[in-house]
Amino acid sequence: MNLETILIEAFKEPTSKQEEFYRAKTRYVGYGGSRGGGKSHAVRTKATLLSYEYPGINQLIIRRTLPELRENHTNKLIAIYNTFPEDLKPKYNADEKAFTFPNGSRIKLGYCDNEQDVLQYQGQDYDILFLDEATQLTTNQFSWLNATVRGVNKLPKRTYLTCNPGGVGHTWVKRLFIDKEYHKKERAKDYTFIQARMWDNIPFMMSDDGFVSTLKEYKRKHIKITDEIMKECAFESDYVRGMSMLSKEIQKAWVNGDWNVFSGQYFTEFDEDVHVIEPFDIPNHWRKSAAFDYGLDCFAVLWFAVDEQGQVYCYRNHEQSNLIITSAARVFLDLTKERIEEVIAPPDMWNKRQDTGKSVAETFAECGIPLVRAGNERIAGWLNVKEYLACERRQPKLKFFNTCEKIIKNIPLLQFDVKKINDVATEPHENTHSPDALRYWCSRWQLGTKVKPPPTHYDFECLKPKENSDFGEVTEEYLTGGY
């Protein structure tokens, strides 16, 4: 029995999407979308094929946790390789968590549960890196791991990623492979993405009774089986029916591989079609205010206007990095030509700095920008944001000019904190700056513009105590609402 026959028998015939994944040869190859697309199987197969194709190649397969690594790769590869003849069988070293092939190739299995775990790969060199479920990794973890793909040999150097929508790495994966937004030295020609849906994995779907019975019904009626029909059959599968208790957003992400909605999204209320509008000239008499989040990594500011009915418009958004306090104040003043009633800032702006003995708030005040302290409760603040985004008859209390690009982009990317379920996750940190400024603004109750009422005669005599009354003197605190 030759090697090709052994591999086909062990890994079976690939789906059309898996075959695309195996054939791709760009520097970065992404594969995924929906659940059930055969991603982990594709990783195991591709790593094995490369091991036999390129003698001496060194590969690393990463899953986020050790239990996931063991269940998805270690145990399954051991079972598969045990079916190989002795002269072709890879040997597993449990201490190194690595398979060594007779031709000198090697597959190392690793995990990266937290930021510190990347340090165990420092100084190591690999020809091929597989990141299985890459959206579970942060940008920093990806950068560290990807730096291990190097070497002076002539073997191919590639990073393969599998991914579903959602997770802490949703943003960077979506940017590179879905939105195709490239920074600095990133090049479009280096990236390939294979979008796999659940119904692309025919072997998986044919094991599902609900899918098979629906498909048979279409065939019985001699209806041409199109991609749309396969999708309908997938939604009738027992697997998808088991998701009926989940939100529609999660079902879209898990079944369709929709990258615009995903599991764990915090602000499911946000809808660009509803919340984002074309700019217009804001009347001078509307009440205007601003809120910011400040740090050397980012100075993020939002400007707001409130009309007579209390409708709020976020009309300007600015983010800029590496600004000292006085520079940040200058940027704010340069961008703000209109009259602003108050500037809201996070409570830590009032902490005294050890080097100067002054707070950030004092420095801003010296620059002509007195600050108002925002509320300090994160969860209460985020719930206030939800209230402003909530729609009644498709009319939210807060709308954004379409020029406010950062806040519009980042609101739908915010996720639940897995350790504090009612809070927003602080990673990826670059997505949180403008949303934090929004939270600070929403932490204070904003009234609409005070409109002078028409002249009315009020009889204040009724407030004076009458003779023989059971009530004492009406106090000033009562009359002024301070009672």
Kindly state whether residues 219 and 277 are assigned to the same domain: no
Judgement on whether residues 31 and 165 belong to the same structural domain of the protein: yes
- In 276-419, where does DSSP find H-type helix? 325-335, 360-366, 378-389, 405-410
Instruction: Pick the more confident residue, 165 or 442.
Output: 442
Residues 185 and 307 in one domain: no
Residue 409 pLDDT grade (very low, low, confident, very high; cuts 50, 70, 90):
confident
What value does the mean pLDDT take over residues 104-118? 92
User: Rounded distance, CA 454 to CA 52, Å?
Assistant: 87
For 241-295, what is each residue's pLDDT tens digit?
777 666 666 666 777 777 776 656 788 888 888 899 999 999 999 999 999 999 9
In this structure, are residues 235 and 255 in contact, taking their beta carbons and an 8 Å threshold? yes
Lowest mean pLDDT among 186-195, 273-282, 366-375, 458-467: 458-467
When computed from its CA atoms, the radius of gyration of the chain, rounded to whole angstroms, is 30
CB 442 within 8 A of CB 407: no
> Looking at residue 313, which CATH number applies to its domain?
3.30.420.280
Statement to judge: residues 142 and 232 lie in one domain: no
Cα–Cα dist 474/483, whole Å: 11
Residue 266 lies in a domain: no
Distance CA 230, CA 239 (A): 14
Tally the domains of the chain.
3
| Interval 181-235: pLDDT, tens | 898 889 999 999 998 877 777 777 888 899 899 999 989 888 888 888 888 888 7
Domain boundary among 256, 291, 324: 256
Residue 386, burial from CB neighbour count under 10 angstroms (0-12, 13-18, 19+)? middle
pLDDT at 133 over 80: yes
Does the predicted TM-score (pTM) go above 0.85? no
HEC assignment per residue over 237-248:
CHHHHCCCCCCH
What's the pLDDT at 131?
97
147 and 189 both lie in a single domain: yes
Write down the residue that tokens 């802490």 correspond to: 168
Contact between 397 and 447 (Cβ < 8 Å): no
| Last residue within a domain, chosen from 196, 217, 234 | 196
Share of the chain above pLDDT 90, in %: 55
Average pLDDT for residues 327-343, to the nearest whole number? 95
Verify that 11 and 135 share a domain, yes or no. Answer: yes
Side-chain-facing half-sphere of 134: CA atoms under 13 Å: 29
User: What is the domain range of residue 208?
Assistant: 202-256
128 and 249: one domain? no
Residue-level length of the chain: 483
Work out the burial of residue 186: count CB atoms within 10 Å of its CB; fewer than 13 is exposed, 13-18 middle, 19 or more buried: middle
pLDDT at 475: 39
More confident residue, 8 or 254: 8
Other residues' Cβ atoms within 10 Å of the Cβ of residue 213: 13
Cα 61 to chain center, whole Å? 23
Confidence of residue 400 (pLDDT cuts 50, 70, 90): very high
Tokens of 236: 């009738």
Q: CA nearest 267: which of 413, 391, 399?
A: 413
Handedness of CA 340, 344, 350, 354 (dihedral sign): negative
Q: What are the backbone dihedrals phi and psi of residue 161, each rounded to the nearest 5 degrees, phi first?
A: -125, 135
